[in-house]
Structure formats: C-alpha cells, structure tokens
C-alpha cells in the first residue's frame, strides 16, 4: 500500500447522514447528525446528556497546518502519517485524566475510531485560552523588540529567550472576528486582556461575569494536570491553548466544559527536559515543523507577516516538502503520543474505509 493511502487528507466528504452543511476547519471536519439520529444514539449508547442534545461526528484529518496554511509533501503526501491518530489519542488521554481528577467535563461522548469523536454540541467561548510557562515564540519575538505588556500583564526586564516565566501567564486571544468591542480590532487572533473580557463578557460568549473566573480556574487546573504528568516523562509543558464552551446539563443549567483538543503537539509546545537542561531546545510538537519552515525558507517574513498572506498561500500551495521532512514530523507526533499514552498507537492502513465501516455497522449513520 502506498504511504499516501494511509493518510486521511480529505475528511469532509464522508457519506455520514446529515441534514446540515459539513463544517471543515484546517484539520477537523464536523458532521451534525439529524435530530432523530442524535436522540437514537443518546438512548442506545447511554450518553450522559439531555435526550434532545444535538450530536456531531468529528473527523480529524492528517493534514498539517502552519502559519494559517496547509502544507503537503512529495509523492502525493497530503498530510502527516499518524498525525490525526496521535492528536486524538493524546487529547483522549488528557480528557480522561481530567475526568478522573474531577475537573470539568469535555465535549467527547464516544470514540468510534482513532480518527473519530462523537461530540455534544457546545456554545463556544469566543476566546482562545492561551497559558504560558516559558517565554518563547511570538511572545519572545515581541519582548525582544521592546514590548513589555501582554494582555494587560507587564513582564519584568531582563528575561532571556526560552526562560521560565516568573509565574503562569494567561494571554487570551480572540477566536474568530468579533465586532463592536471597544479597543479590540475586528480580526482573528487578537490579544485581549482580562479587563477586556470583564467589560464585554457577553460579547466574548460568557453568560455571567463570574464565569471568567471559572474559565481561568479550569485553564490553570488543566494545565497543571498535564504539566505534572509530562514532568514524569521528562517533558516540559511550555505553553498551550485551551478552548471552552457551554452545554446544558440534565437539570437544564449551563455549564462550562473543555472542548476542541488539549495538550496536543498542535495546540502546545512540549520540550524535551534533558535537552533543555543541556542548553538547547528539542521540540516534541508542531513548533519543530514551524521552525523548520522558518529556517529553510529564504524569506521567513512571508510566513510571519500577515500582510503577505497571498504570498504565503502561494508558497504553501506550490511547495512540495521533502518526504524526509514529512516522515520526521510524523515521528515527532507518534513518538510523543506513545510516550504520553504509554502504548503503541493504533494506525490505519485505509482510514476512510475503516471509518465508514464502523459508522455503518455500529452506529447506523451511513446511508447506502
């Protein structure tokens, strides 16, 4: 079997029964089930949600996104082998650990296949909850240029690149383009302060102002659970992004839950502890792929400058990355996943056929 056939690159055309448009992001596609299928599965599978909860099938691809573009490789490789399974396995592991430790629930109700989640509908908070333990990446680049205030928090002088911060920093940014919020530009991924959230909590999707405290508590709790577990593996949890949303519990009350993914190589930076103590950085996350692009491309400003997006898109479209690069990235994802979950990953030879088969035979969600 060709390597390219083991990669799930297109995930928005599966014959899953739905009466809504399939929503496809950079990596995941979401199929909203019919009301009848949602109710049937809740009853048949015993999902712990209200009987009228809308459900969706969420299918992860093996595509790789960096700098808001999708990249591909030689030999028709449209994604990273094993990447989707690695991300799902890691997120499943952390969500299970959160549940064991009594943290908030998540949106996942079932895992029919290594690339598939069944999720409950949530009303997302319009904030990407970013928490940082070290100064690196975009924060370091801004600090090096003289910036000292980030999301309303002032950093001290004299910090060094990749240094541990004096305390955990919460540096939220907007999720999507929000309009009509004083002082917040109408563009995606804009840094906002705690004061911005408090003054405009409804616009950011919070139902009550005190829920901002809840979101920060859940963010810190989740970060600490993952940090402590990675430390046992001699891995450093550098920074990460969480997302939260509201669901309705069986009493009819709203509650905040974790959603999307947590603690994965796509949403986090993870460094090797031994290498860090020796004075250099070994990335066990997508950051290594991003750094490879920056260092190998003759004009890295195209990848960093939002005003050169058309050039960046052309570069991603027209550049076939070396097979060696794609396979090295695959090794990064699968190795850290197996280290975290403590067992080999389950990988697919024909993921599309496997997904269709399990959703037809065990969930009756495939027509024909």
Q: Where are the beta strands (DSSP E) in 282-330?
A: 320-321
Query: Residues 162, 166, 172, CA angle at the centre, nearest 5°?
Result: 80
- For 224, residues 6+ apart whose C-beta sits below 8 A from its C-beta are none
CB atoms within 10 A of CB 259: 23
**Confidence at residue 261, expressed as pLDDT on a 0 to 100 scale:** 94
The Cα–Cα gap between 91 and 108 comes to 10
What is the mean pLDDT of the segment spanning 193-203?
94
The Cα–Cα gap between 314 and 209 comes to 43
The Cα–Cα gap between 71 and 83 comes to 13
* Residue 176 pLDDT class (50, 70, 90 cuts): confident
The two three-digit tokens of residue 18, written as one number = 């739905």
The Cα–Cα gap between 122 and 257 comes to 8
Would you list the domain boundaries of the chain? 3-122+342-361, 123-277
Q: CA–CA distance from 139 to each of 134, 151, 162, 171, 297 (Å)?
A: 9, 11, 10, 10, 22
Residue appearing with tokens 């970060």 = 223
Q: Residue 110: name the closest of 101, 119, 102 by CA.
A: 119
Q: Is a pLDDT exceeding 80 seen at residue 220?
A: yes
Asked if 219 and 234 count as a contact pair (C-beta separation under 8 A), the reply is no
Instruction: State the DSSP code for 197.
Output: H
The two three-digit tokens of residue 1, written as one number = 């079997």
CATH code for residues 3-122+342-361: 3.30.200.20
Q: Residue 30: name the closest of 2, 50, 54 by CA.
A: 54
Share above pLDDT 90 across residues of the chain, in percent, rounded to a whole number? 86
pTM (2 decimals)?
Answer: 0.94
Asked if 224 and 217 count as a contact pair (C-beta separation under 8 A), the reply is no
> Lowest mean pLDDT: which of 88-97, 288-297, 354-363?
288-297
Right CATH for 123-277 from 3.30.360.10, 3.30.470.20, 1.10.760.10, 1.10.10.10: 3.30.470.20
Q: Is a pLDDT exceeding 70 seen at residue 1?
A: no
Q: CA–CA distance from 16 to each of 8, 88, 230, 241 (Å)?
A: 16, 20, 37, 30
């Amino acid at each position: 079997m060709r390597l390219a056939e083991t990669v799930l690159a297109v995930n928005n055309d599966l014959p899953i029964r739905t009466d809504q448009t399939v929503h496809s992001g950079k990596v995941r596609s979401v199929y909203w089930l019919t009301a009848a299928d949602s109710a049937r599965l809740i009853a048949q599978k015993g999902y712990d949600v209200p009987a009228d909860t809308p459900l969706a099938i969420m299918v992860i691809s093996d595509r790789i996104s960096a700098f808001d573009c999708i990249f591909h490789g030689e030999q028709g490789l449209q994604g990273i082998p094993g990447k989707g399974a690695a991300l799902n396995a890691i997120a499943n592991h952390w969500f299970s650990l959160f549940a064991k430790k009594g943290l908030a629930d998540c949106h996942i109700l079932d895992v029919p296949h290594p690339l598939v989640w069944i999720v409950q509908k949530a009303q997302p908070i319009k904030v990407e909850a970013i928490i940082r333990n070290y100064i690196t990446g975009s924060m370091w680049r801004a600090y090096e240029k003289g910036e000292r205030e980030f999301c309303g928090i002032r950093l001290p002088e004299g910090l060094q690149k990749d240094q541990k911060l004096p305390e955990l920093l919460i540096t939220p940014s907007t999720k999507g383009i929000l309009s009509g919020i004083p002082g917040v530009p109408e563009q995606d991924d804009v840094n906002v302060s705690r004061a911005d959230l408090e003054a405009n909590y409804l616009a950011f999707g919070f139902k009550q102002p005190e829920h901002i405290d809840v979101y920060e508590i859940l963010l810190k709790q989740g970060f600490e659970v993952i940090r402590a577990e990675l430390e046992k593996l001699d891995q450093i949890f550098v920074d990460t992004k969480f997302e939260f949303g509201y669901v309705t519990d069986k009493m009819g009350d709203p509650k905040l839950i974790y959603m999307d993914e947590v603690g994965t190589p796509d949403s986090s930076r993870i460094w090797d502890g031994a290498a860090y103590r020796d004075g250099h950085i070994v990335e066990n996350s997508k950051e290594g792929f991003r750094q490879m692009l920056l260092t190998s491309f003759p004009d890295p400003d195209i990848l960093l400058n939002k005003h050169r997006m058309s050039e960046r898109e052309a570069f991603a479209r027209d550049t076939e990355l070396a097979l060696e690069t794609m396979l090295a990235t695959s090794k990064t994802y699968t190795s850290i996943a197996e280290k975290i979950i403590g067992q080999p990953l389950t990988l697919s030879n024909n993921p599309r056929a496997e997904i269709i088969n399990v959703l037809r035979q065990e969930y009756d969600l495939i027509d024909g």
